[in-house]
Structure 1
């Protein structure tokens, strides 16, 4: 596989220039065996790619981990720094900054080189991490989390883009799957690691742990990563990016401060609301004239995109709001340790991962998707109502069951929303529409965390005041002190502890009750989605698009590339060659078609060496060789097979059939006015796939077909 995967540069023009003889594309020593490999050893090349990918994965790990690792540390952070009223901003500042920065990182990387920008993103992230670890109060921590978020947005989007620079199209699905696996792993590990560091070291190590990992990633990237610097000019929408971030910030400030820090009718809240409205109008005006808008307004003319955006907002609202406050419930109300609070949340993460993966695969294979957003939003609403039932006496089994239901609901809808957006837009808008769906989930997350925090802080203040009214308490144990540091509950008189813990319990679980109607809005909207037939090239997105809290922006070309590479590896090996042989009009053995394409690609083939190199059984290769010789499609030169003139023509038709089958997957994107980059992608994938080791045409159980070339061939 390595040989074919990394021969893309030399094979790029093979489609138009059939080989005329031996050694056209690779030397004989190259196929002779491991002992004869030279300096351009593809295994060595693949090793270099794997080291670079490993460093990129470390960078992605840092950014992904910081989306979840903080949640279980939040109660301890509040106890140390105070400021329960602003707890939500520890999460929100990171989300807003990374969301706003993502499109800028992507386009700046295109323009000035991704390696350089990736290193800058790592440095910014590490500076933010160090400052977060040193924060002395809540405002400092919030500000430094925003710095972290700026770097985190770059780590996620640039690491995904660099994969496209390192590996050929057919391999990208596999490597991007690794990045998806990192997101899945961090969803599980984040709460656990956050609890472990908080309990056994300090909450500050939640941030300090990034420093050694980031330095290793930075060193490896500097020494090993070698990618071409292609300067793609962009008209970067700086003003649009600033305005949409400012609008989101105003909305989140109103949600988090209104009715809590400032009264709803206060001049400050009214001023923020008016400022948000003015900035929204300005954003719309700017986006109408922008050459490359950060969020094209024409997308909102597509009903499916608009509905999916609103449902994404709802999912983000529920998911991150719950994930932020459940650890507080577990640690304060249930009295579990920070580490065990991460363990208790695993059923929710497991439910999310399982249902997300299963629903995406079912949709990709059946083309039917409407049931999933309807079911997902309904189950999410049910999960929120179940979480509202939690209390001081809830058992571990009950909590785990409720967490699982909630996670299953979120997972059912998350993958599918990305799929239906990709299916609804034209090719040129595919990349920005995909990131747009995740963008609204990120804004929903920021808004949800803020609203949850505002409701929680307001309810807790009222309940603690009622519980402690008329009680004589030692200095430093009033309602404000209990809000700032939940740990001092243990210092209260024994008679007061249960009602104070109950106040915490009901304040948190009431938040889930208030969030349930928001999920129901998503349920109602899901019924209005129109179930259009899925394009063949729309496949289940990877976890970076499903689990990332900020939009992972990839170009339309990269999105189609990922999908086709996934589809190219999903088909059965023998079925591929049966399909293209039938399409070309021949009744050759699948192995014979593979052999012809293999010779066409490399100029020659020696059956014994080919069997050893590819892993195809020798008898299968010999049988295929005998058939192509008998039909005059190839002839012997010593031990080697080379194509005859007739064989060159047959191989060309087989390659054309493979290209047609790839193009067929693009559906209406492959129209008369198809973009040139799509034409290039199909030709490049066809060149890489035709005759490759990755598609060995061998299955013991399938009988040999008839052996007669059709008349006239």
Structure 2
């Protein structure tokens, strides 16, 4: 197998039969035919030089700013189907791990808190991973342009595995948080580089199918995280094993990448192999990278701590907001005026498709993460469901996410169009969130299982289509930077969604409790007694159903009902904003060859 696949490093002639189908799955005879053609050609063949001198007036807006790198007028080889399958498998493993690790701690926190006696700070286990992922994820696009995809993919896997090793060997909470931070840096690369590298080896017309598979593995990893953590935490040797068990998967992914991801020296995104790593590192926009990480870190920290550890009306929160704005302004200034090869080209946002796609990503992720967070709270607080029943109601949404991504990919492959399908996705999201807004304590069980299905379907369509729309709007040599922009907007939207959702929920809950509970003051129930009830109810939904006095129980449930409804209305508003953004996306041709000459 290894010998036959390695021969596919050569170029496959560009014909109308080079489509690889869903996730590169083709019949054996087609693979064999392509391998025979692979053996007869090499990447250096001058007969297959791409002719992409004319990629349209729009493409000329994005002339390459990268000094010394191979640009779009040179050849972009096609990869044969068998090799694509193996390369994509290695990246699917990375995506699965990154998603798994993001949720695996949800069922491990109680075990870890008990061992380290650190319950008040236990949330930093999750926060550390999210902070580093969000901060470093946007850097991988430009860095991999300069250093190459393979080195950065290997680096991400190694860093992820090292972080898991540190977590498993931790002897205190903050050592564990450090390991989670390191793991997050690697995890950010595993997800973003998978999308970037896919664009290197697959034509745009087929690209969405592979993105659908990436989304499918991400959904599987997310849904399995809690189950895997719970199993190892209770039955599989302890919580440390849950981290160690991920290391062998990293090793397998690394081996596959090293063995099969052979982007040739003349590949535009393979790095400038004629220069040393030191020279290539000197080309990087270090000022922009440092300012971007600083701005994102401050933003994520402010969003995560605001309203919880740090009150919104405190001077410290105001200071963090000011520092975040200053850091963001410094980053934009550096990228706009001080560097010729920016780490994250903000000038690309002048293009309406890139800007509209970025905003659509920002808003739809913001809305979906808020629904996914507060719908379970509604089930638990208003309907008195346990964790198992709540978890069951989220399972169908993972299926709809997979179907939405794959369906969008199949549609774009068959038609080469995406604009109207994007608007259809927007309509599905809005209808789904309208359904969520009508939830009540009497909502039928069958409908509860479907509440997250419709918005999940629509969001998965939007995420898949908008990424392709952004990539299609720029020349091939800028696809990595454009993908990084998309991931940056997703990360900030996700974090801000959780923060704004918490603020809306908390404020509405406190107002409802003050108005409705204090109205029960009487000779039998003093104001002091009711304020104590308010304090307990605001901190624990479980207390309402287990220990709250019977006379106030229905009132407390009603307060939680209206607080959750306020967050659902917020989700609907941001979904409408995402839809408005999508209207401004311009439809570009989805080419059938990587070189975009077909």
TM-score with structure 1 setting the length: 0.59
Instruction: Supply the distance in 2 between the matched residues of 1:506 and 1:140 (Cα, whole angstroms).
Output: 40
CA 1:54 to 1:159, structure 2 compared with 1: closer, same or farther past 3 Å?
same
TM-aligned CA deviation for residue 179 of structure 1:
7.9
* 1:314 lines up with 2:363 in the alignment: yes
TM-aligned CA deviation for residue 454 of structure 1:
2.5
* 1:65 lines up with 2:94 in the alignment: no
Name the stretch that deviates more: 398-407 or 453-462.
453-462
**Which stretches in structure 1 are left out of the alignment for 5+ residues?**
19-45, 538-562, 566-661, 666-713
Per-residue deviation, residues 591-641 of structure 1 (Å, max 9, x unmatched): xxxxxxxxxxxxxxxxxxxxxxxxxxxxxxxxxxxxxxxxxxxxxxxxxxx
* 1:535 lines up with 2:535 in the alignment: no
Counterpart selection for 2:242 from 209, 216, 230: 209
Instruction: Supply the distance in 2 between the matched residues of 1:135 and 1:520 (Cα, whole angstroms).
Output: 45
User: What's 2:507 paired with?
Assistant: 458
Counterpart selection for 2:222 from 177, 190, 213: 190
Instruction: Supply the distance in 2 between the matched residues of 1:312 and 1:326 (Cα, whole angstroms).
Output: 21
Q: Are 2:111 and 2:233, in contact at CA under 8 Å, matched by a contact in 1? A: no
TM-aligned CA deviation for residue 52 of structure 1:
8.0
Name the stretch that deviates more: 222-231 or 245-254.
222-231
TM-aligned CA deviation for residue 49 of structure 1:
9.9
User: What's 2:579 paired with?
Assistant: 523
What secondary structure sits across from 1:66 in the alignment? helix
User: What's 1:553 paired with?
Assistant: none
* 1:151 lines up with 2:181 in the alignment: no
Per-residue deviation, residues 399-421 of structure 1 (Å, max 9, x unmatched): 23332221232133222212221
Instruction: Supply the distance in 1 between the matched residues of 2:509 and 2:375 (Cα, whole angstroms).
Output: 15
TM-aligned CA deviation for residue 295 of structure 1:
1.6
User: What's 1:376 paired with?
Assistant: 425
**Which stretches in structure 2 are left out of the alignment for 5+ residues?**
1-30, 49-80, 266-270, 273-279
CA 1:381 to 1:244, structure 2 compared with 1: closer, same or farther past 3 Å?
farther
CA 1:77 to 1:333, structure 2 compared with 1: closer, same or farther past 3 Å?
farther
User: What's 1:571 paired with?
Assistant: none
* 1:509 lines up with 2:565 in the alignment: yes
Instruction: Supply the distance in 2 between the matched residues of 1:454 and 1:199 (Cα, whole angstroms).
Output: 34
CA 1:339 to 1:368, structure 2 compared with 1: closer, same or farther past 3 Å?
same
Which structure 2 residues correspond to residues 621-636 of structure 1 after superposition, within 5 A? none
User: What's 2:383 paired with?
Assistant: 334
Which structure 2 residues correspond to residues 266-665 of structure 1 after superposition, within 5 A? 266-288=314-336, 289-463=338-512, 484=539, 486-493=541-548, 495=550, 496-529=552-585, 531-532=586-587, 534-537=588-591, 564=593, 664-665=597-598
* Number of residues of Structure 1 aligned to a counterpart in Structure 2: 509
* 1:93 lines up with 2:126 in the alignment: no
Q: Are 1:355 and 1:411, in contact at CA under 8 Å, matched by a contact in 2? A: yes
TM-aligned CA deviation for residue 314 of structure 1:
0.6
User: What's 2:64 paired with?
Assistant: none
Which structure 2 residues correspond to residues 688-707 of structure 1 after superposition, within 5 A? none
Instruction: Supply the distance in 1 between the matched residues of 2:111 and 2:578 (Cα, whole angstroms).
Output: 34
Instruction: Supply the distance in 2 between the matched residues of 1:389 and 1:88 (Cα, whole angstroms).
Output: 32
CA 1:87 to 1:382, structure 2 compared with 1: closer, same or farther past 3 Å?
farther
User: What's 1:240 paired with?
Assistant: 288
Instruction: Supply the distance in 1 between the matched residues of 2:442 and 2:239 (Cα, whole angstroms).
Output: 30
TM-aligned CA deviation for residue 319 of structure 1:
1.9
Larger Rg: 1
Q: Are 2:192 and 2:484, in contact at CA under 8 Å, matched by a contact in 1? A: no
Instruction: Supply the distance in 2 between the matched residues of 1:171 and 1:428 (Cα, whole angstroms).
Output: 13
TM-aligned CA deviation for residue 258 of structure 1:
5.0
Per-residue deviation, residues 21-42 of structure 1 (Å, max 9, x unmatched): xxxxxxxxxxxxxxxxxxxxxx
Instruction: Supply the distance in 1 between the matched residues of 2:533 and 2:232 (Cα, whole angstroms).
Output: 29
Instruction: Supply the distance in 1 between the matched residues of 2:517 and 2:418 (Cα, whole angstroms).
Output: 52
Which structure 2 residues correspond to residues 229-268 of structure 1 after superposition, within 5 A? 232=272, 233-234=280-281, 235-256=283-304, 264=312, 266-268=314-316
TM-aligned CA deviation for residue 113 of structure 1:
3.2
Instruction: Supply the distance in 1 between the matched residues of 2:257 and 2:476 (Cα, whole angstroms).
Output: 34
Instruction: Supply the distance in 1 between the matched residues of 2:389 and 2:474 (Cα, whole angstroms).
Output: 44
Q: Are 1:129 and 1:144, in contact at CA under 8 Å, matched by a contact in 2? A: yes
TM-aligned CA deviation for residue 266 of structure 1:
3.9
TM-aligned CA deviation for residue 516 of structure 1:
1.9
What secondary structure sits across from 1:564 in the alignment? coil
Name the stretch that deviates more: 323-332 or 194-203.
194-203
TM-aligned CA deviation for residue 360 of structure 1:
3.6
TM-aligned CA deviation for residue 283 of structure 1:
0.8
Instruction: Supply the distance in 2 between the matched residues of 1:125 and 1:81 (Cα, whole angstroms).
Output: 22
Instruction: Supply the distance in 2 between the matched residues of 1:444 and 1:96 (Cα, whole angstroms).
Output: 10
CA 1:368 to 1:55, structure 2 compared with 1: closer, same or farther past 3 Å?
closer
CA 1:197 to 1:407, structure 2 compared with 1: closer, same or farther past 3 Å?
same
TM-aligned CA deviation for residue 511 of structure 1:
1.0
* 1:181 lines up with 2:213 in the alignment: yes
TM-aligned CA deviation for residue 75 of structure 1:
11
TM-aligned CA deviation for residue 497 of structure 1:
4.4
* 1:12 lines up with 2:50 in the alignment: no
Instruction: Supply the distance in 2 between the matched residues of 1:414 and 1:163 (Cα, whole angstroms).
Output: 16
TM-aligned CA deviation for residue 307 of structure 1:
1.7
Instruction: Supply the distance in 2 between the matched residues of 1:106 and 1:218 (Cα, whole angstroms).
Output: 20
CA 1:7 to 1:315, structure 2 compared with 1: closer, same or farther past 3 Å?
same
* 1:110 lines up with 2:148 in the alignment: yes
Per-residue deviation, residues 517-551 of structure 1 (Å, max 9, x unmatched): 2222222333333x44x3241xxxxxxxxxxxxxx
Which structure 2 residues correspond to residues 27-106 of structure 1 after superposition, within 5 A? 57-67=92-102, 81=119, 89=127, 92-93=130-131, 95-100=133-138, 102-103=140-141, 106=144
CA 1:516 to 1:366, structure 2 compared with 1: closer, same or farther past 3 Å?
same
Per-residue deviation, residues 357-415 of structure 1 (Å, max 9, x unmatched): 32343244334433233333343234333323323333322223332221232133222
TM-aligned CA deviation for residue 501 of structure 1:
4.0
TM-aligned CA deviation for residue 433 of structure 1:
1.6
Name the stretch that deviates more: 196-205 or 347-356.
196-205
Instruction: Supply the distance in 1 between the matched residues of 2:235 and 2:299 (Cα, whole angstroms).
Output: 29
Q: Are 1:381 and 1:517, in contact at CA under 8 Å, matched by a contact in 2? A: no
Q: Are 1:256 and 1:450, in contact at CA under 8 Å, matched by a contact in 2? A: yes
